[in-house]
Amino acid sequence: MFFEFGIKDFIDILLVALLLYYTYKLMKASGSIKVFTGILVFILIWLVVIHVLEMRLLGSIFNTLMSVGVIALIVLFQDEIRRSLLTLGSHRHVNALLRFFTGAKRELLQQDDIMPVVMACLNMSKQKVGALIVIEHSIPLDEVVRTGEVIDSLVNQRLIENIFFKNSPLHDGAMIISKKRIKAAGCILPVSHNLDIPKELGLRHRAAMGISQESDAHAIIVSEETGAISVAYRGQFHLRLNAEELESLLTKVI
């Protein structure tokens, strides 16, 4: 037969579609969707020139550009590629498999570790003290920790409130909580350039959205203008939370 379509072809098309969809989501989150569209247009033109029009000279030029373009794309999107591989390696099923073979135990935050954060956010909300707290999960935030001042202390409500006190030198940065400890404060987070973020949300919210797009961390924001408590997680905002909603949102993942 001229054309046979079997289960292998269906799986092949499905995997390619999933790959394109995942790449599209990654590019959209990083603000490179136009670059992704340009790459797809270039590949489409290359396929038409090679397989439809059968232009040998132009086809050879396109083949050369494609071979060089792969290396250029790796250099251009090295951060996105690294983040994707890190996300894949930090997936809960992959981690569970590694723990099964190595015998390592998973260290989780408990509700008692979350409550000092919730109470500190509640007090800062009442006093309209701005704050940005990032709780690390499976994807490590070592690079972000290195941008701030290392503290390495137990999670303590008073310490959190003192760090974000308006006259504190670490007030404007982000606090990173990892493995039941406050790792660092005054950290610099990647800022999201998503145009869908409401304009009334400030730089803290954009920084929280940025780290939530690049990791599986919870980013808690206390607005300095309104005192509202919000959380960015997996590229989505949960706005104007009360203490119960904040605790429920954080402990749900735990």
Instruction: Specify the domain boundaries for CATH 3.40.1700.10 within the chain.
Output: 111-253
- Looking at residue 29, what is its pLDDT? 62
Residue 98, number of CB atoms within 10 A of its CB: 12
DSSP, res 71:
H
> What phi, psi does 25 have (nearest 5°)?
-65, -40
Structure tokens, 5: 């379509």
- Looking at residue 118, what is its pLDDT? 93
What residue type is assigned to position 86 of the chain? Answer: L
> What phi, psi does 32 have (nearest 5°)?
-115, 30
Closest residue by Cα to residue 76 from 34, 35, 118, 130: 35
2/95 Cα distance (integer angstroms): 46
Pick the CATH number of 111-253 from 3.40.50.1100, 1.10.3720.10, 3.40.1700.10, 1.10.10.10: 3.40.1700.10
Which residues, including other chains, have CB under 8 Å from residue 152's CB and lie 6 or more apart?
181, 182, 183, 184
What residue type is assigned to position 198 of the chain? Answer: P
End-to-end alpha carbon distance in the chain: 55
pLDDT in tens, the chain (254 residues): 445 667 887 888 888 888 878 777 766 665 666 777 777 787 788 878 777 787 778 878 777 777 777 777 777 666 666 666 665 655 555 555 555 555 545 455 566 778 999 999 999 999 999 999 999 988 889 889 999 999 989 999 999 999 999 888 888 899 999 988 999 999 999 888 777 788 888 899 999 999 988 888 999 999 999 999 999 998 889 999 998 899 888 887 54
